[in-house]
Amino acid sequence: MFPENIAERTRRDFPLLNSISGQQGLIYLDHAATSQKPQSVIDSLEHYYKNINANVHRGAHQLSAKATDAFEGARQIVGNFIGANSFREIVFTRNATEGINLIARSWGDSNLKEGDEILLTVMEHHSNIVPWQLLSGRTGCLVKYVGLTPSGELDVDDFCEKLNEKTKLISLVHISNTLGCCNPISEITSKAHKYGALVLLDACQSLAHQPFDVGSIGVDFLVGSSHKICGPTGVGFLWGREHILEAMPPFLGGGEMIQDVFLDRFTSSDLPHKFEAGTPPIGEAIAMGTAIQYLELIGLENIRDWEHKLMEHLFEKLSQINDLRVLGPTPSNEKYRGALATFSVEDIHSNDLASLLDIAGICIRSGHHCCQPLHRHYGLTGTARASLSFTSTIEEIDLFIDELCSSISFLRKNS
């Protein structure tokens, strides 16, 4: 069992969080951009390259067999983590962005035509906007956007108004990386399926923060990224319903994704390998499996509950700062909210705040967070964002708030 304050137990597992910056420990509040890595993940990646470095699936020697077992074992870990029915439903990708592009290129090019419609939301990350705009240019399908409520949540009424028999796909984020709102996915999938539409879920901001099961929420596709769940960069995954993936053509051609190749044709390999052309990120995938096991050891329920307490404290402190505006809904016991706060301060640029906080050893994000349409919706060019994890502490939040207030005061005096 982990203590109520799970940060007390877990921080020692993260080498970078124990580094020194100036006169105090590094305060990392940019977990929504990329998570820190525990020693077990670092060791897992090192173990692959030191002890079983070989290509997978292709060699008859013992190193290849060991690498293949570890690689496919990681696939099984990912599948179990999200509640997949079969390892065949898990496709390794470079990142979540590649997973979305795979769906757009393979499923989209094969199934959509002029007049068909795709529903997105105004809060989407660019990686869940641009691939569909490109698809629209190729096929003539129409991309529509669902709006927001005044509190910064998905406007379900607007969604229902725009959903119709022409809608073929809804692609949306689970937790917004800017607003922090958690979208009502089960409600969305239920309504979408009545029209025969599929649902693709960007789960990058939710997988490391709450329990997850694709069966219970009813989506048809899901993408995730290793570096957001304490794993290495350079690897992610796509989950899709097996019968849908079976019907989709390959995305990339080359080695690994074939069964047979002739001079005038080829036959595809079975799932999931028909979507994994070329040598995959073997060590990274194995270490992603290690990261998932680490999260499961802590317990996603424990993570969710601790981060909720942190968010309540952070929002209380931010609410006391004059002329500071937080985007998205406030934390409540009725609705889950992502462990981040995106804010703007009147007449102060977010980059200036981030630069001063960095001098004090505090890492936050500034800019548009790959959500330019959302920022235009609010009439903003950029915001600051503090994002937390289960390794974050109340003390770190208090130090952040003190430095933030000092930075605001300094910038106003020198403006």
Predicted pLDDT of residue 23: 42
Q: For the chain, count helices (H), then strands (E).
A: 15, 17
Q: How far apart are CA 380 and CA 81, in angstroms?
A: 37
Examine the pLDDT at 331 and tell me if it is beyond 50.
Answer: yes
Q: Which residues are within 8 A (CB) of 264 and not within 5 positions of it... i.e. 6 or more apart?
A: none
Q: Based on the number of CB atoms within 10 Å of its own CB, is 397 exposed (0-12), middle (13-18) or buried (19 or more)? A: buried
Q: Measured on CA atoms in the order 339, 39, 287, 79, is the torsion positive or negative?
A: negative
Q: How far apart are CA 75 and CA 88, in angstroms?
A: 9
Convert the pLDDT of each residue in 288-304 to its tens digit: 999 999 999 999 999 99
Examine the pLDDT at 78 and tell me if it is beyond 80.
Answer: yes
Q: How far apart are CA 229 and CA 343, in angstroms?
A: 24
Convert the pLDDT of each residue in 302-326 to its tens digit: 999 999 999 999 999 999 999 999 9
Helix ranges (DSSP H) in 240-348 = 242-247, 282-298, 300-318
| Peptide bond between residue 272 and the one before it cis (omega within 30 degrees of 0) | yes
Catalytic residue numbers, as ranges? 370
Q: What share of the chain is helix, strand, coil (3-state, %, to 5)?
A: 45, 20, 40
Predicted pLDDT of residue 22: 39
Mean pLDDT of 254-282: 94
Which parts of 193-257 are beta strand (E)?
A: 198-202, 221-225, 236-240
User: What are the structure tokens assigned to 4, written together?
Assistant: 């109520």
In this structure, which topology does domain 42-296 adopt according to CATH? Aspartate Aminotransferase; domain 2 (3.40.640)
Phi, psi of 213 (to 5 degrees): -155, 115
Convert the pLDDT of each residue in 208-250 to its tens digit: 999 989 999 999 999 999 999 999 999 999 999 999 999 999 9
Question: Tell me: domain 7-30+300-413, CATH 3.90.1150.10, correct?
Answer: yes
DSSP code for 88: G
Greatest Cα pair distance in the chain: 73
Q: How far apart are CA 222 and CA 220, in angstroms?
A: 7
Examine the pLDDT at 81 and tell me if it is beyond 50.
Answer: yes
Examine the pLDDT at 13 and tell me if it is beyond 70.
Answer: yes
**Mean pLDDT for the chain overall:** 95
Examine the pLDDT at 59 and tell me if it is beyond 80.
Answer: no
**Which candidate, 173, 110, 109, places its Cα nearest to that of 135?**
109
Convert the pLDDT of each residue in 35-51 to its tens digit: 999 999 999 999 999 99
Mean pLDDT of 387-405: 97
**Which candidate, 170, 282, 177, 280, places its Cα nearest to that of 228?**
177
Convert the pLDDT of each residue in 192-208 to its tens digit: 999 999 999 999 999 99
**Which candidate, 180, 108, 172, 97, places its Cα nearest to that of 140?**
108
Convert the pLDDT of each residue in 153-196 to its tens digit: 999 999 999 999 999 999 999 999 999 999 999 999 999 999 99
Predicted pLDDT of residue 127: 98
Q: Where are the domains of the chain?
A: 7-30+300-413, 42-296
pLDDT tier, 20 (very low <50, low <70, confident <90, very high otherwise): low
Q: What is the DSSP string of 112-157?
A: --TT-EEEEETT--GGGTHHHHHHHHHH--EEEEE-B-TTSSB-HH
pLDDT tier, 414 (very low <50, low <70, confident <90, very high otherwise): confident
pLDDT tier, 21 (very low <50, low <70, confident <90, very high otherwise): very low
**Cβ proximity of 16 and 28 under 8 Å:** yes
Predicted pLDDT of residue 60: 83
More confident residue, 369 or 8: 369
For residue 350, give the amino acid letter.
S
